[in-house]
Structure 1
Amino acid sequence: MPVNPNFLERVVLLRLNKGPAPMLDLFGAASFKSVSLALELDLFGLLADVETPLTAATLADRLDAHPDGIAMLCNFLVVEGYLADSEEGYRLTKMTEKWLLADSETNMGPWLTFWNDLVFPFWGHELETAITDGEPSQSIYEWFDEEPDRWEVAQDGFRATASLLVDDVADAVSIPDDATQLIDIGGGHGLYTIELCRRHSNLTGTIFDLQGAIETVSDEIPAELAERISPQAGDYRTDDFGEGYDLALLFNVIHAHDPVENTALFERVADALAPNGRIIVLDQWEGSGRTPVSRAGLRFVALTYLTTLGATVYAHEEVTSWLQEAGFADIERKSVGPLSGLALIEATKQ
């Protein structure tokens, strides 16, 4: 967590512009790298396994690191809010316990590791190219394919962030009582299909994605749902989906494609749906940020999509027009989650 300036510092740095506010970005970058290293070392996990604080010397001994180095790292993590210190040693803060421990239901550690190990290294190679040429020299997914282990790190990250939204999304999605077949296009980790099938006993699901994306999904499907959920490898731009589905999910998919490609994808989905079947699109939407954090998040997402995919964030009005062109009607938008920016668009095949 970047250092939180006090009132006087906010006035001097941000309101009056009397000090170098960009140094806060420097602190934030160092904080991210330090937290990523702490995750790699399992520093937080070690502190979670003990009931009392641990000194730098004890931590260094157990982590096979230098005491001075561990002390420096922990002291920085204290001022950044990840650790607390006392005469007895270091302990976790409530924030770290909730968001960065492996046994927490809200563990975001794999998401940070995904950015540290994959996305930001990719930025290092492609950001300038994306800015000057309008797109990267290759997509990040093509880069993943060069070393398949990258897909495992990516899927762990996607799963971690989806786990924070899955209940809100499942609450918002409209599932007709007579719906029996669902296809999750670009569904990778499968969390949304798993949760919807868990909630609706008459529903079966197909998770459709690239081979590298779904290789580990079978291990994530609970045993009690194994007969109702089927991973299927394929390229959703060209390969056959099958037909007769009552529901089609396109979650965090359309931002990766241009308007012509998205319209064609919607048409292919319509062909795969049964009469009156429903399409449900989840993504971030241009113009939906209402607070400083959500606006910054939306702009960050847009820059990330450009750098990694040569893509962008669309306005929901654009998506509505593509759906209408592909033969969908009764289009409805629903906000999802505690922060603005993420929403569902549902529509019915005509």
Structure 2
Amino acid sequence: MKLGVISENLLERLLLATNLVPRPIFDTQVALMLARTVMAGTKLGIFEALAPGPLTAVEIAAQCQTDPHATIKLLNALVGAQYLRMKKDGYTLTSLSRKWLLRDSPRSIYDKMLFHFTEWEWIEHYEEYVRTGIPLKIHAMLSDDGWGIYQRAMRAVTRFQTFEVVWRTPMPKNPHAMLDVGGAHGLFSVAFCRRYRQLRAVVLDIPEAVKHAAPMLANEGMGDRVVHRVGNALTDDLGINEWDLIFISQFAHHCDEATNRDLVKRAARALRPGGVLAIQDMLRPSSAKEPMLVLLTDLYFANTSQSGSWSLAEIADWQRAAGLQPLRPTRFRSLPGASQQAAMKPALKAQQQRRAKDSKPRRSGKKLQR
């Protein structure tokens, strides 16, 4: 999956093939104009105004409290981008905008569109990051309102991943206890608990996240089966032999290697024998031949987090060093570039056998000389 210049006729195809089209203009000016047009339509309430049915430009401007003449410019741009359609009785939504951009749609990414305004500012730091190698500390930059839109945006992105993640994450038999590290909105925990009826989950996150995520979790109607715990996964005691599943999603890229190793070690201790530690994140590219989306995301995370993305091999190494058995990794189709590396804590009998084996004196391979 990638964004690019797409020819609309044979002549344009030939021009692209012979490098006679100034593609950098399309990759920059056209791309940013398209992005900002969709963002503006969302923020100004254009799509919400059209949710009940077709409206004229004057009617839309009145509802959105915008300038009528300027509103026509925006509406026509959205028609060109295929987010609106023009009919005799006015403008109307396309299936694309109705499914994804209406606030109350089951598949809505409305809040992610609003969060793009914050990310727009973060991306302006690219040049400084490349010059100095110093990334932004995005969590320290967020205002209270910023934390709110951040949590809603992350929930919007998570919503269309939950089904695949829940069905493809390894789970021990009859699981009862799950710890969701940095899970904020708790949507993954809710999905796991809806599949496994006997499962209860604790979502561990910092106060700023829980403050805004708690109302979202309450709306899921899970009662005491999914609850928040205010704390810090980097310093809190996670327990001993307490959890069947410890789930860590989109968290590792915020931490350096030493911090991740320590977290995995404490998580391994907190798992029950036979329990699973599942770590999922956007992957670090193995080479510059990876898909465009993977490479662009790697730069984005490097600019906005303290370590950037990690590879599956590195994550598996942390798990192995903590005494866990890495399982076959999972590459998700619902979010290209994202993968999960799960590992299992050996059952008690296997642990005892391993300790017994390690405690036996080893024979020297050398023969005694007479």
- Letter paired with 2:108: N
| CA displacement at 1:104 relative to structure 2 | 1.3
- Letter paired with 2:262: A
Per the alignment, residue 354 of structure 2 pairs with: none
Q: Deviations over 1:18-72 (max 9, x none)?
A: 021122231121111111111112110111112xx32212211222222210110
Q: Deviations over 1:240-263 (max 9, x none)?
A: 223311110011111222222211
Per the alignment, residue 238 of structure 1 pairs with: 235
| CA displacement at 1:3 relative to structure 2 | 7.5
Q: Choose the corresponding residue for 1:21, options 20, 23, 28.
A: 23
Output the CA distance in 2 between the equivalents of 1:91 and 1:28: 24
Distance 1:35 1:317, change over 3 A: same
| CA displacement at 1:162 relative to structure 2 | 0.2
Q: Deviations over 1:270-315 (max 9, x none)?
A: 122122221011112234899x9x8222122111111111332222
Per the alignment, residue 123 of structure 1 pairs with: 123
| CA displacement at 1:337 relative to structure 2 | 2.5
**Comparing 9-18 with 328-337, which one deviates more in the overlay?**
9-18
| CA displacement at 1:318 relative to structure 2 | 1.6
Per the alignment, residue 166 of structure 1 pairs with: 162
| CA displacement at 1:158 relative to structure 2 | 0.2
Output the CA distance in 1 between the equivalents of 2:50 and 2:287: 37
RMSD across aligned positions (CA): 2.2
Per the alignment, residue 59 of structure 2 pairs with: 58
Is 1:83 the counterpart of 2:88 in the alignment? no
- Letter paired with 1:180: H
Contact 2:37–2:78 (CA under 8 A) maintained in structure 1: yes
5+ long unaligned stretches in structure 2:
347-370
Per the alignment, residue 366 of structure 2 pairs with: none
Output the CA distance in 1 between the equivalents of 2:133 and 2:43: 34
- Letter paired with 1:106: R
**Comparing 219-228 with 259-268, which one deviates more in the overlay?**
219-228
Output the CA distance in 2 between the equivalents of 1:4 and 1:69: 28
Contact 2:285–2:295 (CA under 8 A) maintained in structure 1: no
TM-score, normalising length from structure 2? 0.86
What is the SS of the residue equivalent to 2:246? strand
| CA displacement at 1:330 relative to structure 2 | 4.2
Output the CA distance in 2 between the equivalents of 1:199 and 1:152: 28
Contact 1:163–1:191 (CA under 8 A) maintained in structure 2: yes
Contact 2:99–2:108 (CA under 8 A) maintained in structure 1: yes
What is the SS of the residue equivalent to 1:44? helix
Q: How does 1:194-273 map to 2 (within 5 A)?
A: 194-221=190-217, 222=219, 224-243=221-240, 244-273=242-271
Q: How does 1:302-313 map to 2 (within 5 A)?
A: 302-313=298-309
Percent identical among aligned pairs is: 26
Output the CA distance in 1 between the equivalents of 2:44 and 2:230: 35
Output the CA distance in 2 between the equivalents of 1:215 and 1:123: 27
Per the alignment, residue 281 of structure 2 pairs with: 283
Contact 1:251–1:281 (CA under 8 A) maintained in structure 2: yes
- Letter paired with 1:29: L
Contact 1:2–1:80 (CA under 8 A) maintained in structure 2: no
Distance 1:345 1:258, change over 3 A: same
**Comparing 69-78 with 302-311, which one deviates more in the overlay?**
302-311
Distance 1:209 1:7, change over 3 A: farther
TM-score, normalising length from structure 1? 0.91
| CA displacement at 1:123 relative to structure 2 | 2.6
Distance 1:10 1:278, change over 3 A: farther
> How many residues are matched?
341
What is the SS of the residue equivalent to 1:174? coil
Q: Choose the corresponding residue for 1:156, options 148, 152, 158.
A: 152
| CA displacement at 1:228 relative to structure 2 | 1.3
What is the SS of the residue equivalent to 1:311? coil
Contact 2:253–2:306 (CA under 8 A) maintained in structure 1: no
Contact 1:56–1:71 (CA under 8 A) maintained in structure 2: yes
